[in-house]
Structure 1
Amino acid sequence: MLRRRGRETGSTSTTRAEDAWRGTPRGAKEVEAYGWWSLIRVLGIASGVALVGISLASMLLGPLLRLLVKSLVLLTVVLVGLRHHADNGGLVWSGERFYARRWAFPDGRTASALKPVLKRLCVEAIGELLPHPALHHDSHEDDCLAESVVTLVFDRDRGGGAPGAKHPPVAMHLGFKASCMRIVIHNAMALVTRDYQGTEAMRGLHQHLAILNLLLTFLTLGTISLTFTEISSGPARWQADFCQSLFPNPRFCNSIECGGGPQPWQLDIARFMMENHGAEMGTSPAAGHEGLRLNEESFVLVVDAEGEMVFHVGRLNLFYSLWRLVLMTFPVARTVYTVVLLLWTALELMAFAVLGRIDLMQTCAAKTMDWLGVEVQISGESESDLHRTRSCGTLWVSNHYTLFDYTVMHLVSRRVLRTIVKADIAEEMPVLGPITSTFLFDYMGCVPYQRGSRESGARVREALKRALVEDGTPVLVFPEGTGTENGPPLEFRRGSLVSAHELGVPVQPVSIWYSEAIGLAPESPTLSQLSKMVMRPMQVVVKLGPLLSPATYRDADSFAQAVEDCVRTNFREIAGSRRGWGRPGS
């Protein structure tokens, strides 16, 4: 939530603090608002319904269906109990020192018990009471707290200091459900009392609780999909790991020039929230932000002297988030998943190559990208220019990360690209290496190159001439001669560019950028680097430069330099657009 302009000083701030503390013991005791009788009633009703369902299933269904129905009924009872526990002040997280309780959409009695504790915690955290409606409205009918999800963190090492007190709250999360046709949850406030701000004990706790709270929200709302929004002053990194289609994404290229920008539904959500929930988000004039506007290209909110805040919009899916959590937590799962998927893809591509079905190879490559969680964006030349490039013998020149670049370029070019590949590629990976070598050399027509061998260099030049001039087919080369983990491009080796100038064939410069450091530098562990592709959602941005003709350059050196400069310049533009919030170079 945005803070109001300027800090209140003197007696006004003191009065607000006293008002917030009034009616709450100095110890700020743990909120005793757990509904035990309500839990018993809910479980009793659920168990009764379950018994009736099991009885009917036993009389009407066969053995296998009876077992299935009983399992579903028992699972439903457990989920109902867990939901009631997590929504009514139940313990949702516990560590050696801290533990957390959660309330979702509290009723009037529970809200009355929570509100003074939230007020006091807010004052103890920032020295003033924020203008959030959940902290001010006394009538439950228009109380924002009734549409909120509250998570309080307590410290076992601190006593309450008041009769009946247990442990004082030291941190809080507050989110609310928007009044929208979509299920929209906005993360409104995250506060920590001053004694705990910046401490080692609290480091990382907020992020873990935020993730847990979002997962529990699926259970609370009985859904598997929802929209998440947040206003923050820093990059939303953990949200980028779990959200689908998050914008702006601090790990991705967000600029419109590089194919980024918000999707229409994200823009609709942002406009709706700004127009209808400004008070809850702290963006309304009542919160002291007169004239605050949302930049609809970058989602940046300019807050005068306080700098810039960013409005994030993303889509959450329960199963997607859980799967991402598994891949991020267990390295073995990442490696096994990556190897199995790439092996299966290689076998499919070989089968389609034998059949000559380029269209099925394209579909297979696109499907693999989806399973890996890789988003490919193409920018630069128009589709008509790219079509002309694909229709003639053109040398495609790109910077190089890993062998995965070849799959990306295959998708971009929409046809088979022959490429120059080092002859010892089979030795790089214990399982994938031999299969990859067979696929590239035997099925895709790639040209093997032995480093340091003049005879091999001569064979490569002859293969380039035959493919580009005689056959009129495009060829892909990586002039760096080796991969890098995350760029920028290394110095080009110009042998292939000199050959292109001598043969008079055009060159298509291509710049590739990955949001993760998955490249294979000479010392990189191969499987470990490949598994980074599935550790978190990844974006690949491919920028096509203008088609360069050797006839417009006086010699081979100036032609090669122009190609290298084009690749480097476009790479810098892509990488720069990731910094900040979608503005190149920021």
Structure 2
Amino acid sequence: MSAWLPTAPCTPGACVKATRSAAAVPRAVLRLTAVLALLLAGVAVSPFGRRVPAGWIRRWCRAILRAAGVRVRVSGPAVPTGGLLLVAHHVSWLDVPLLAAVRPARMLAKTEIRRWPVAGALAARGGALFIERDRLRALPETVARIAAAMRGGSAVTAFPEGSTWCGRARGRFHRAVFQAALDARVPVQPVRIRYLEAGGEASTAPAFVGDDTLLASVWRVLSARGLMAEVEIRPALPPGAHPDRRTLARAAEPDDDAGACTGRVGLVGPSEPSEPSGPTGRTGPRVLARQAGHAP
């Protein structure tokens, strides 16, 4: 793996609270059956791709979340229509259906997602924009494709941290994807995601971090009781409100502090190289790569 790829300090052993209960097994099996049935329904309509009505996608994603035992609470203003960049901090594979339940969009995803069973095919047929993280020279072309999609009226969802975190801490937003919003002259829609336990404390059960497996993360979610997903839609950042991708990325981040994680506190992230200011200021592929974000 390339040294420039974003990483998080979160690991399953250090950050994720285990949910071990014999009573949870039957509940998890029933939920898994319901989720698989809904995924098969999605596979059945996936050949229609982006012709599937947005309202159907919203209802389908909400049904998946309910089947998995996750309640959803949405607050904030309505998400604008038309082309935009929707950005959020990244905790879990649950983030994807959660955001699609709010605003269906084309997902910016790492190419490895293509190989995931079921989810890979659904992502590709749904118009996902795949990024090859190990090819530095491909990144400017990817930024151009994202801009073209948004310029054409599509919403694009991205996780600019470039890596999943456990939910008790988070990383800085990397800047490359924000250049696409500047080039397309579309708004940026920041969204804050929080997962809570039944008692209202932050939950790490949905986390998909470090060397965790997808199966282990899915099982924790299905086994959890009273899991709540909070989606806070923050005010959209209109085009032209920020002169360059650095200030735009910072404006899109939540302004509150995250908790401690493996000895690191609050918003943390690797240092980033300097760049020229201006909405269309270009840098080489290596600098853009350091500033890239991707889906889980």
TM over 0.5: yes
How far apart in 2 are the matches of 1:522 and 1:570?
22
1:54-73 correspondence runs (5 A)? none
Assess if the C-alpha contact under 8 Å between 1:353 and 1:361 holds in 2. Answer: no
1:466 counterpart residue number: 148
State the Cα distance separating 1:496 from its structure 2 match: 0.3
- Code of the residue aligned with 1:490 in structure 2: it is G
1:407 counterpart residue number: 97
Assess if the C-alpha contact under 8 Å between 1:467 and 1:473 holds in 2. Answer: yes
Q: Deviations over 1:55-89 (max 9, x none)?
A: xxxxxxxxxxxxxxxxxxxxxxxxxxxxxxxxxxx
How far apart in 1 are the matches of 2:215 and 2:24?
11
How far apart in 2 are the matches of 1:492 and 1:394?
17
1:490 counterpart residue number: 171
State the Cα distance separating 1:404 from its structure 2 match: 1.5
In structure 2, which of residues 67, 71, 80 is the aligned counterpart of residue 371 of structure 1? Answer: 67
> Which of the pair has the greater relative contact order for Cα pairs under 8 Å at 6+ separation?
2
Assess if the C-alpha contact under 8 Å between 2:86 and 2:191 holds in 1. Answer: yes
Secondary structure of the residue aligned to 2:163 is coil
Q: Deviations over 1:262-290 (max 9, x none)?
A: xxxxxxxxxxxxxxxxxxxxxxxxxxxxx
State the Cα distance separating 1:378 from its structure 2 match: 0.9
Assess if the C-alpha contact under 8 Å between 1:498 and 1:556 holds in 2. Answer: yes
Rg (Cα) greater in structure:
1
Runs of 4+ in 1 over 4 A off after TM superposition: 330-339
Assess if the C-alpha contact under 8 Å between 1:352 and 1:360 holds in 2. Answer: no
- 1:522 matches 2:210: yes
1:539 counterpart residue number: 228
- Code of the residue aligned with 1:364 in structure 2: it is W
Q: Deviations over 1:445-483 (max 9, x none)?
A: 0011121312431332122122111x2111000001111
How far apart in 1 are the matches of 2:68 and 2:184?
39
2:3 counterpart residue number: none
2:283 counterpart residue number: none
CA separation of 1:527 and 1:350: change in aligned 2, threshold 3 A = same
Instruction: State TM-score, norm by structure 1.
Output: 0.37
How far apart in 2 are the matches of 1:554 and 1:363?
37
How far apart in 2 are the matches of 1:455 and 1:340?
43
- Code of the residue aligned with 1:520 in structure 2: it is F
In structure 2, which of residues 25, 29, 45 is the aligned counterpart of residue 352 of structure 1? Answer: 45
Assess if the C-alpha contact under 8 Å between 2:31 and 2:69 holds in 1. Answer: no
State the Cα distance separating 1:337 from its structure 2 match: 4.4
Instruction: State TM-score, norm by structure 2.
Output: 0.70
In structure 1, which of residues 542, 545, 555 is the aligned counterpart of residue 244 of structure 2? Answer: 555
CA separation of 1:338 and 1:351: change in aligned 2, threshold 3 A = same
In structure 2, which of residues 116, 119, 122 is the aligned counterpart of residue 439 of structure 1? Answer: 122
- Code of the residue aligned with 2:130 in structure 1: it is P
- Code of the residue aligned with 1:546 in structure 2: it is P
- Code of the residue aligned with 2:132 in structure 1: it is Q
Q: Deviations over 1:485-524 (max 9, x none)?
A: 2232212211001222233221000000011311111222
CA separation of 1:392 and 1:412: change in aligned 2, threshold 3 A = same
Q: Deviations over 1:296-352 (max 9, x none)?
A: xxxxxxxxxxxxxxxxxxxxxxxxxxxxxxx94256546644544433222212323
How far apart in 1 are the matches of 2:127 and 2:258?
28
State the Cα distance separating 1:409 from its structure 2 match: 0.7
2:277 counterpart residue number: none
- 1:448 matches 2:135: no
Assess if the C-alpha contact under 8 Å between 1:502 and 1:556 holds in 2. Answer: no
- Code of the residue aligned with 1:504 in structure 2: it is R
CA separation of 1:401 and 1:338: change in aligned 2, threshold 3 A = farther
Please state which structure has a larger fraction of its residues in helix.
1
CA separation of 1:463 and 1:335: change in aligned 2, threshold 3 A = farther
- Give unmatched runs, 5+ long, in structure 2: 1-19, 197-202, 260-296
1:419 counterpart residue number: 107
- Give unmatched runs, 5+ long, in structure 1: 1-326, 428-432, 573-586
Query: How many residues matched?
Result: 230
